[in-house]
């Protein structure tokens, strides 16, 4: 009889831990963002690191979503942009586990690794370019 209760308790604890960190499990640690521009193939930098070009999908780590985006192209003024940060919708799946008090500590994994963050899927950045 005690063995069944032990197995049941262990199974319950395991499922609680598996259901925690919902944003990390269901959304991953990066997000695809499309940075569109009036200038095709302008360079996109995250702080000082080039991550790709405009008008294409870019994978950005969720922990880096709040860093400065720079878009530049020859003959154009460099534009700096901060992505709008919002809460990753899957983060809220942690709420029922927190309410029952069983997963408060491990639910903070999403926050610790910054996987609770998200941004828009598409961003439009207009560059001001010299007219030739």
Longest dimension (CA), the chain: 85
Asked whether 21 and 94 are in contact (CB, 8 A), the reply is: yes
Q: State how far the Cα of 3 lies from the Cα of 8, in Å rounded to an integer.
A: 8
pLDDT tens digits, 17-49: 555 555 566 677 899 999 999 999 999 999 999
User: Does residue 130 belong to any structural domain of this protein?
Assistant: no
pLDDT tens digits, 65-122: 999 999 999 999 999 999 999 988 777 776 665 555 555 555 666 666 677 788 999 9
Given a cut of 90, whether residue 1 has pLDDT beyond it is no
Q: State how far the Cα of 7 lies from the Cα of 126, in Å rounded to an integer.
A: 60
Q: State how far the Cα of 67 lies from the Cα of 47, in Å rounded to an integer.
A: 6
Structural domain that includes position 78 = 2-125
User: Does residue 18 belong to any structural domain of this protein?
Assistant: yes
CB burial class (10 A; 0-12, 13-18, 19+) of residue 51? middle
User: What pLDDT does residue 116 have?
Assistant: 78
Residue with tokens 């080039």: 50
Q: Which residue would you say has higher pLDDT here, 54 or 89?
A: 54
User: What pLDDT does residue 110 have?
Assistant: 67
CB burial class (10 A; 0-12, 13-18, 19+) of residue 101? exposed
- Position 14 confidence tier, pLDDT thresholds 50, 70, 90: low
Strand 122-125: give its sheet, edge to edge.
57-61, 30-37, 122-125
User: What pLDDT does residue 67 have?
Assistant: 95
Total structural domains within the chain: 1
Mean pLDDT, range 45-62, rounded to an integer:
96
């Amino acid at each position: 009889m005690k063995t069944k209760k032990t197995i049941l308790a262990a199974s319950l604890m395991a499922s609680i831990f598996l259901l925690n960190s919902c944003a990390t499990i269901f959304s991953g640690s990066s997000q695809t963002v499309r940075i569109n521009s009036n200038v095709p193939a302008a360079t996109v930098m995250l702080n000082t690191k080039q991550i790709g070009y405009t008008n294409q999908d870019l994978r950005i780590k969720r922990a880096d979503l709040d860093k400065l985006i720079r878009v530049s192209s020859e003959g154009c003024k460099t534009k700096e942009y901060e992505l709008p940060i919002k809460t990753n919708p899957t983060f809220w799946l942690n709420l029922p586990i927190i309410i029952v008090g069983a997963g408060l500590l491990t639910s903070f994994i999403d926050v610790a690794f910054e996987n609770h963050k998200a941004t828009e899927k598409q961003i439009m950045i207009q560059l001001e370019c010299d007219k030739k």
